[in-house]
Amino acid sequence: MTLWTAGEIAAATYGVASADFAVDGVAFDSREVGANDLFVALTGESTDGHRFVDQAFAQGATGAIVSADTAHPGVRVADTFAALGDLGRAARARMTGTVIGVTGSVGKTSAKEALFAALDRSLPGAVHRSVKSYNNHTGVPLSLARMPRDTKVGVFEMGMNHAGELSALTQLVRPHIAIVTAIAPAHTAFFADESAIADAKGEIFRGLEPGGVAIVPYDSPHRDRLIAAAAPSAARTVTFGLDKGADVRAIEAMRLPSGGSFVTAKLGNRELSFTLSQPGMHWVSNALAVLAAVDAAGADLARAGLALAEMGGLAGRGARFLAPAAGGDMLVIDESYNANPASMRATLAVLAEEPGRHIALLGEMRELGDASADYHADLAGPILAARVETALLVGEAMTPLAQALEGRVEVMHVADAATALGRLKDLARAGDALLVKGSNGVGLSRVVAGLASAGASRSRDGEHDRGSQGGGT
């Protein structure tokens, strides 16, 4: 089914179409354009998308949104960024199904992917979600604009690093169900304290549709603050967590030999037992939030449980693979996408459960403001609890942690990701478990890519391939 026609795009964006065309997808990054896509030529501080219009059409685009003359079929508008937002609003307006919004300091992308998998099990092919971490002022309207017209459930991730940003995004998404996964120190350079972060995350409830449901973490110290934020807009608030007071709670969570968990959840007077493929109690919490949303959407809980059992790890957020090391293979736990104090602690707890020697490759945590040194030094306890033998630390902000660990574990403190990869090649041995985690700007994903490439190369050369292992955060 056609996603957009030229006439629909022009009507939505208050633009003028130069020709008739139809598109099946939308992109604003020319590198992502595929066959029959609409290319939105955004103009930013560092680049102008109009420079890449020819490239987009060479890659298969059939239409474009532009604010300058082009020889290609397109819709001319005054402002391409505003037009992207208008197209997102039009997609939301024509959608007659259920919309779910997800935010939180940690776990929002993982919860969004798990929720998509759980709902797709009941409604195969009829569930749409944000891709990657497209959760900001450009990613959210793009994700909306990509939503097929016959979508029955849409799941959208929303992020922020300043107060007021979620208010704008949630008015675009207008969710029927809104989830806050957790509140934790993140972007603290821009907030007075953690309560201010909770207030900013609570903005998601302002966009709830009439009759909407708010889903909040019961175990959070900011629970009551979030419930109060939801009260003016939500018809109902549902809590999730491990405490017996939560509406959706885990009454049992046992670690399995595979690394995941066997969970029995209670939802009111109902119980659901399921296997969760991802390791760690933070994933148990994610799963409870997912079940609360599935239930609020009226979807099948049993099928959701099956989907949670089958989920693999997400790249940068818990994916696992084997990489070559001296004498054989080592396990790599890829948490390289981003980091804050809470997610660092959670993933170090997962590392603690793995057999073998433990190596932690940790990049500095950014945007933590004046408390950055304390947040980094405080990771010493979780590192010791995880039985880490070697801590490979990347970035200047890791200096307080290196000092806190001195004499307690082997510490290697390096300036950048490339140096860390070189050290790993000399350090790693067969049977090691390596956790890779840090703020996205540190670039540890390049370390993961290098390790994965080495493993793939060896496999192609005919050596024994022990396969991959599921995981997640």
pLDDT single digits (tens) 170-225: 999 999 999 999 998 777 677 889 999 999 999 999 999 999 999 999 999 999 99
pLDDT single digits (tens) 414-450: 999 999 999 998 899 999 999 999 998 999 999 999 9
pLDDT single digits (tens) 67-76: 999 999 999 9
pLDDT of 458 reads 52
Whole-angstrom distance, CA of residue 395 vs CA of residue 415: 5
pLDDT single digits (tens) 15-41: 999 999 999 999 999 999 999 999 999
Task: Answer with the residue of higher pLDDT: 249 or 134.
Answer: 249
Mean pLDDT of the 266-284 span? 92
pLDDT single digits (tens) 340-387: 998 999 899 999 999 999 999 999 999 898 999 999 999 999 999 999
Whole-angstrom distance, CA of residue 254 vs CA of residue 14: 56
The two tokens of residue 79 are 């402002």
**DSSP of 175-202, one letter per residue?**
-SEEEE----S-SGGGSSSHHHHHHHHH
Mean pLDDT of the 236-253 span? 96
At residue 465 the predicted structure's pLDDT band, cuts being 50, 70 and 90, is: very low
How many Cβ atoms sit within 10 Å of the Cβ of residue 213? 24
The two tokens of residue 143 are 């994700």
Whole-angstrom distance, CA of residue 235 vs CA of residue 124: 29
* Strand pairing report for 388-394 and 410-414: parallel
Q: Give the global pTM.
A: 0.83
pLDDT of 455 reads 62
